[in-house]
Amino acid sequence: MIALDHIAIWSGNLYRTTIELSRLTGIGSADGGYFPGLGLGQKIISLGGGVYLEIESIVDHRMILERDPVALELERQTDSGDCFAGLCLRSDELTEIEAFAAHRGVEVSAEIAGGKALMVPGQKRGRAAHAPDFLNSWLKGKPNIYYVEGLENHSSILPPQPGTGDVVGLGVTSIELGGSEASLRSWLGELDPAELGLDIRYNGLADGLYAVGFDSTAGPQEIRLPPITLPAARSRAAQTLLSETS
């Protein structure tokens, strides 16, 4: 059964964005570590119910100098500000991930494209089977799915760092997506978006995530950001990125 797992936000400055979101929501943040092979660092803000915000920015700028495609895409996407980069689902049934991968015509992967396991001292998190590769989902404004067997080592339960916020997220209640319900169902195949248990609103604009609503100890809240830029507005270089990571 599928569930919402996390929402990726791309930022030009990991700390600025995290501080602003914590001030906006009152929810504290945790250190999410970094992807050595991607040059990306991340902070975590839990929205409750096993769902978290994954705020990412470039922390190893050698990746830019070396023309790494993921770092270059993040830099390009955040040129005009923060954006919702990815809507990430999870399932505790590997057969469900395999069926979804077959529907999308891809293989289930245990590796993050261009990267290695997330490195955080003292935390027991590692690779997770997923499909499709995150870039080939996010750059289409569509969700990918991870195999998550349980929440014992899940990023959503990382304790916030002291002083970063006292409000507690109580669970995501709604998301606003571009496109239509039909286009999402076509992408997911046999997987049913109704299983997410969310109020899903479709605004008919370009695919991607536009807003997330959630309950908290401070009351109902909503975060709204522009979605990731889609292929119709991308350069030839970004189109090449999709084919390279297929």
Write out the DSSP string of the chain: -EEEEEEEEE-S-HHHHHHHHHHHH-B--EEEEEETTTTEEEEEEEEETTEEEEEEEE--THHHHTT-HHHHHHHHHTTTS-EEEEEEEEES-HHHHHHHHHHHT---BSS-TT----B-TT-------EES-HHHHHTTT--EEEE---STT-GGGPPPPTTS--B-EEEEEEEEESS-HHHHHHHHTT--GGGG-SEEEE-SSSSSEEEEEEEETT--EEEE-PBPPPGGG--HHHHHHHHHT-
Q: Which two tokens stand for residue 17?
A: 């964005």
Which residues are CB-neighbours of 107 under 8 A, at least 6 positions away?
101, 131
- Are the C-beta atoms of residues 202 and 96 closer than 8 Å to each other? no
What is the C-alpha to C-alpha distance for residues 136 and 99, in angstroms, rounded to an integer?
Answer: 17
How high is the pLDDT of residue 129?
A: 85
The residues, any chain, with a CB within 8 Å of residue 121's CB and separated by 6 or more, are none
At residue 121, does pLDDT exceed 90?
A: no
Would you state the pLDDT for residue 171? 98
pLDDT at residue number 237: 47
Q: Tell me: the pLDDT tens digits for 34-48?
A: 888 888 999 999 999
Per-residue pLDDT tens for 1-58?
999 999 999 999 999 999 999 999 999 999 998 888 888 999 999 999 999 999 999 9
Task: Say what the pTM is.
Answer: 0.90
Please name the amino acid found at residue 110.
Answer: A
The answer to whether 55 and 14 have CB atoms below 8 angstroms apart is: yes
The residue range of the domain holding 209 is 2-244
Q: What CATH number does residue 110 fall under? A: 3.10.180.10
Round to the nearest angstrom and report the end-to-end CA distance of the chain: 26
- Give the pLDDT confidence score for residue 125 in this predicted structure: 56
Number of domains forming the structure of the chain: 1
Task: Give me the pLDDT at residue 214, please.
Answer: 98
**DSSP-assigned beta bridge partners for residue 146:** 90, 130
